[in-house]
Structure 1
Amino acid sequence: MIETSRLILRPWQDEDAASLFRYASDSDIGPIAGWPPHTSVEHSLEIIRTVFSAPEVYAVVLKDTGEPVGCCGIMFADSLHTADMHQREAEIGYWIGKPYWGQGLIPEAVEALLSRCFNDLALDAVWCGYYEGNAKSKRVCEKCGFKFHHTNCDILSPLGDKRTEHLYLLTKEDYPQPR
C-alpha cells in the first residue's frame, strides 16, 4: 500500500468490481488508452482477478471516500508493455474515472509510483507513454517530469487499430529527489 495526501494506492480486491465497472465502462476512458470499455460488473471482476492481479498494479482509492476511482501500475521489462525497455527499467500506466479528471489525482499517484520505482525498486529509468490525441495523459507525463523520447507510428493497439504512440522517459539521474 502506498499513501499520498489524497490517495491510497492498494491492490485491487474482488469487492471493488462495482466501482471499477462504474468508471471503466465509460467509453471515454478505455478506448483512448487502447482497451475496450468494461461490459459488466462480472467483466470488471475478471479484470481484477487477471490483469489487475499483477504485481505493482494498484487501485487509486480516494482517502475521503475509500472508493477506487482509477488504476495505476508499474510494468517491468518482462511483462506486457509498449516501451522498448531494458532490465532495471519499467513503464508506468494509469487511468482515472471521468468525474475525477483535472483534479491532479493521477499526477499525485504517478509521483508516488516514481518514488517507488527509484527509491524502493532501484530502477534506472521509467517510461510513460500515450496514444496520439490523449492530451490528458501527455499533460501527466510532462507534469511528472518525464521528457519526450520518441514516437512510434502504426503501433497495433490492444483494440486492433493502428495508432501513433508517444513515449516519454525519466531517468534516475533526472528524477528530483524528495523535497
Structure 2
Amino acid sequence: MGSSSLAIEVNLQDCYSAPNSIHPDTWNQWFASWLEILQPQTPAALGWEVTLRLTDDREIQTLNRDYRHQDRPTDVLAFAELDIDSPLGEGLESEPSYLGDIVISVETASRQAQEQGHPLEIELVWLASHGFLHLLGWDHPNDEKLQEMLSMQEQFLKNIGLIS
C-alpha cells in the first residue's frame, strides 16, 4: 500500500495548556510513526486526519453520558468517523481521510499517572494511542483482544522512545 501521512489537530482547553508540554508537531510525528507501524493493515490514503482534544472530567463525563450512556468521567473516548472494516470506496487515495476524534480527560489521566507512578506525558500518550487504535477499528471485547491492543500500545510508546 502507498505511503500515508497523518495530519492532526490538537485542541487544548486553556486550563490544560500548562501541564501538557507536548507540542502539536510532536503529536503529529508520533501518530505518523504509529501509522507506519500499522501500515500493512491500514488502507492507503493520501493522508489521515485525527482530532485530539485534551479536556477535563466535566466535559468527558458529558460526552460519556451522551454517547455511551455512562454518566461518569472516563479517561479516553474515541469517535470513529471512518468504518475501517467496510469496503473502501474510491477517493481514499486522492484526498485525506478523517478518522475521527480522540478525547482525553487530563484530570483523569493525571490521577492515573500518579497512581501508576509515571509522568503525565506517558499517560496522555498511552491514552492517545488507545484511542487511535479504536479509530482504526481495533476493539477489546475480550481479554485476548485487550492484550493485543495493550501490546500494540506498548510497541507505539517504545517506537517513539517514551518507554524502553
| TM exceeding 0.5 | no
TM-score (norm 1): 0.28
Richer in strand (by share): 1
TM-score (norm 2): 0.30
Q: Which has the higher contact order (CA 8 A, sep 6+)?
A: 2
Richer in helix (by share): 2
